Structure 1
Amino acid sequence: MDKKTSRLRRAVPTRRKIAQLRMHRLAVFRSNQHIYANITTPDGDRVLVSASTNEAEIRQQLASETGRGGNTSAAAIIGKRVAEKAKAAGIEQVAFDRAGYRFHGRVKALAEAAREAGLKF
């Protein structure tokens, strides 16, 4: 069993519980260089809001700072941005899906920034 399979296996119980609660889901994916956050419908069929370090505005913002998209400061920017977009779309409360990643480092920075920006989960 490789790392990706193990991570996805750990994500299954959380995703099952979120589907049972019928809430909007804030899903996080992190790669070595970037971090992505999506808010999907309770059915999981549509992405309502998304933010990532691949967006042009974010890349310009990160170019002035040290590093690119693979650090906690970039994750905090993405958390704040996804929360602002969610508030604009009328989404106040979500369930946080860390996708099998530990709640530590970039994932934690994204979650805390989203909470500070007014998103409840």
Structure 2
Amino acid sequence: MGLSKTQRKFRIRRRIRKVSFGTAERPRLAVFRSNTGIYVQVIDDNKGTTLCAASSRDKDLASAKGSKSEIAKLVGKTIAEKCVNAGIDKVAFDRGGNLYHGRVKSLADGAREAGLKF
């Protein structure tokens, strides 16, 4: 019998994390997508710390109207602004086992538009 959807996603996530590693110069931009929201963190894996984070449930974005993809794009712009203010301009993108499509792609496009490079 084949893998379930969650087992397949976990296997892909482990494969991605083998090569995606965040440093102080180029931290990892980790994306978590649930059915209702999207969450993103910028992580320095050497120290094991989260440098900045944003989500669709933040106070300023919770009242945003639009489709899930439009809200994901706003989250991408928000995290990029926080990163630029913290002096981070380059990140390694970790899609977290999700396909680079839909909300994940919208988040990445929003972050790129706001000045983040990956």
Instruction: Normalising by structure 2, report the TM-score.
Output: 0.89
Q: How large is the Cα RMSD of the aligned pairs? A: 1.5
Q: Distance in 1 between matches of 2:50 and 2:35?
A: 23
| 1:47 equivalent among 27, 40, 50 | 50
Q: Tell me the amino acid that sits aligned with residue 80 of structure 2.
A: A
After superposition, residues 1-121 of structure 1 pair within 5 angstroms as 1-19=3-21, 22=23, 23-43=26-46, 45-60=48-63, 62=64, 65-66=65-66, 71-121=68-118
In structure 2, stretches of 5+ residues that fail to align are none
Distance 1:105 1:44, change over 3 A: farther
Q: Distance in 1 between matches of 2:95 and 2:104?
A: 7
Q: Tell me the amino acid that sits aligned with residue 24 of structure 1.
A: P
Q: Tell me the amino acid that sits aligned with residue 114 of structure 2.
A: A
* Bigger proportion of residues as helix: 1
Distance 1:99 1:118, change over 3 A: same
Secondary structure at the aligned position of 1:38 is classed as: strand
Q: Tell me the amino acid that sits aligned with residue 78 of structure 1.
A: V
Distance 1:113 1:11, change over 3 A: same
Number of aligned positions between the proteins: 114
Task: Among all aligned residue pairs of Structure 1 and Structure 2, give the percentage whose two residues are the same amino acid.
Answer: 40
Q: Which runs of 4+ in 1 moved over 2 A?
A: 1-5
Secondary structure at the aligned position of 2:41 is classed as: strand
Q: Mean alpha-carbon deviation: is it higher for 10-19 or for 29-38? A: 10-19
Q: Tell me the amino acid that sits aligned with residue 91 of structure 2.
A: V
Deviation at 1:43, TM superposition (A): 2.1
Q: Distance in 2 between matches of 1:80 and 1:90?
A: 15
